[in-house]
Structure 1
């Protein structure tokens, strides 16, 4: 992968002042050298950073922590929802949990009126793949049995990877999935698309970071041709649910979203790729301070709501 082109990207021009202010605030609480800390220290730093940016829960959103057949989940609801969103959090498969994305899930609930089920999947490296995949699939099956409502699968970064893998595995088995909304997901087995070199040294996430997070999922080499960890390595993209992928333009993962949508569309499915110019990986936390991030978060919640209603406003 390397950073042949990444060093020449003019991020001072591509990224606006609001977003740079956000990047500086993140680096104050989550420094670039955090990857040199041990995993437990990384988690503490990440959780503290999440608290700095937390916007709290909107009024009227109720929550309850439950056990989903052995997987801890947090439910969010307001009123009487008739749709369920399964949400898998980001954090490179090693960070995060129910607290790190609590405000995001509460806002999705408030904006859509849907029930949100946040999945506290087991983390690497204590639990290698496929533990995370199994936990997300278990949470989906539990929610289907518990509520009987149609489902929209949603997740950011590592969580986008996990819910997409669940969507592939659930084909032909689950009748409840109305769609999936993936937020800057990692989907490829290998980082050889153009964005991995163009944005190898992007702020917030480098190509080397992606390699680290993917490698830590396994005790040995990455398995080939296994869509349970790399959905883009599936050989069949037919019969997947309607899919909206939102990517950040200044992110090595950008082309994962593009290629995934192209694969679904080529197979005759519905897929919309929304690439957010000037935004960087992890911008969900910037939605309170960065106009572009706020606008994108609105597009995300609109996508979740539309797919939950069986609508496709992307043609």
Structure 2
């Protein structure tokens, strides 16, 4: 599909958000060097950063040899740990790129959040990213804590994949998974991958580029959770997708398969949103509502509602 025929949102706030994004991160960014992509992305994330909630304690540390950043709100209402995996196509992003997002989720839920700074491709091919995230999860579960997995985009893939791996290994303690416009291994040639092939913010060719760079096997359910044979026994899930996003149907199909297997699942499709709308939560009404739904889901799983 050409960019002239691909549907686009009409909400003024999200259109302004896209204009800001384009000024920092070019639509053809994947054609640049990895170093340049990361510089552009870091600048974009800094543009949308915000002051942290009052009296929040932030600390960088190491868990299971993986760098992490923890967020402890002034008032704790839950002992459940929130484990966050950031987006960025497995190529860009860090614990800094999602700094304010993580802080606001932790503050809303009244629970400690740990953001995982997993290794990036192409320097580190799959399964380095999944290994890092699972190592952190396994370590925190050893303390007997309940855990909510949260991830956006590539991080949503990691959260879902880690949940599959935990089930396969018989690990208990994951009480919920919150997947935000996740990449879960769709076929790239049908559904939203065709309808939204040239959507603003993320194209189907971008998704193909990130997959190729990552080098993950397409039939591995940890790498591509839609390839899971049995969805029974996976943690309850909240899945939020953007209508104008080639990844939209990954989340929709995954939610359907979880529900068919008897897993408790909530599914939201944000009608005016594009990929990466989390960053628009303070300038778009649709993003604000969607972010509140994400935070409420995290709070529900954490037992804070």
Shift of 1:193: 3.8
Give the whole-Å Cα distance in 1 for the aligned partners of 2:4 and 2:230: 36
Give the whole-Å Cα distance in 2 for the aligned partners of 1:268 and 1:198: 30
Does the CA contact (< 8 Å) of 1:89 and 1:155 recur in 2?
A: yes
Correspondence for 2:146 among 129, 147, 150: 150
Correspondence for 1:234 among 218, 228, 245: 228
Instruction: Provide the residue aligned with 2:192 in structure 1.
Output: 195
Instruction: Provide the residue aligned with 2:67 in structure 1.
Output: 72
- In the alignment, structure 1 segments of 5+ residues that lack a partner are none
What TM-score comes out, normalization by structure 1 length? Answer: 0.92
Instruction: Provide the residue aligned with 1:251 in structure 2.
Output: 245
**Does residue 61 of the first structure (1) align with residue 56 of the second (2)?**
yes
Give the whole-Å Cα distance in 2 for the aligned partners of 1:193 and 1:84: 37
Give the whole-Å Cα distance in 2 for the aligned partners of 1:135 and 1:71: 6
Task: Look up the SS of the partner of 1:273 in the other structure.
Answer: strand
Greater mean deviation of Cα atoms: 100-109 or 137-146 = 137-146
Instruction: Please list, as runs of the form range in 1=range in 2, the aligned pairs for 1:1-315 lying within 5 A after superposition.
Output: 3=1, 7-11=4-8, 14-78=9-73, 79-80=75-76, 81-146=78-143, 148-171=144-167, 173-218=170-215, 223-309=217-303
What TM-score comes out, normalization by structure 2 length? Answer: 0.95
Give the whole-Å Cα distance in 2 for the aligned partners of 1:214 and 1:271: 27
Give the whole-Å Cα distance in 1 for the aligned partners of 2:133 and 2:16: 34
Structure 1 consecutive aligned stretches of length 4 or more whose deviation exceeds 6 Å: none
Give the whole-Å Cα distance in 2 for the aligned partners of 1:182 and 1:97: 18
Give the whole-Å Cα distance in 2 for the aligned partners of 1:269 and 1:22: 35
Give the whole-Å Cα distance in 1 for the aligned partners of 2:217 and 2:39: 30
Shift of 1:187: 0.3
Give the whole-Å Cα distance in 2 for the aligned partners of 1:270 and 1:305: 16
- In the alignment, structure 2 segments of 5+ residues that lack a partner are none
Give the whole-Å Cα distance in 2 for the aligned partners of 1:59 and 1:198: 43
Shift of 1:273: 1.3
Give the whole-Å Cα distance in 2 for the aligned partners of 1:15 and 1:149: 43
Shift of 1:227: 0.8
Task: Show CA shifts across 1:206-250 (max 9, x none).
Answer: 0100111111111xxx52420111000111111000011000000
Does the CA contact (< 8 Å) of 1:77 and 1:115 recur in 2?
A: yes
Shift of 1:177: 0.4
Shift of 1:28: 0.5
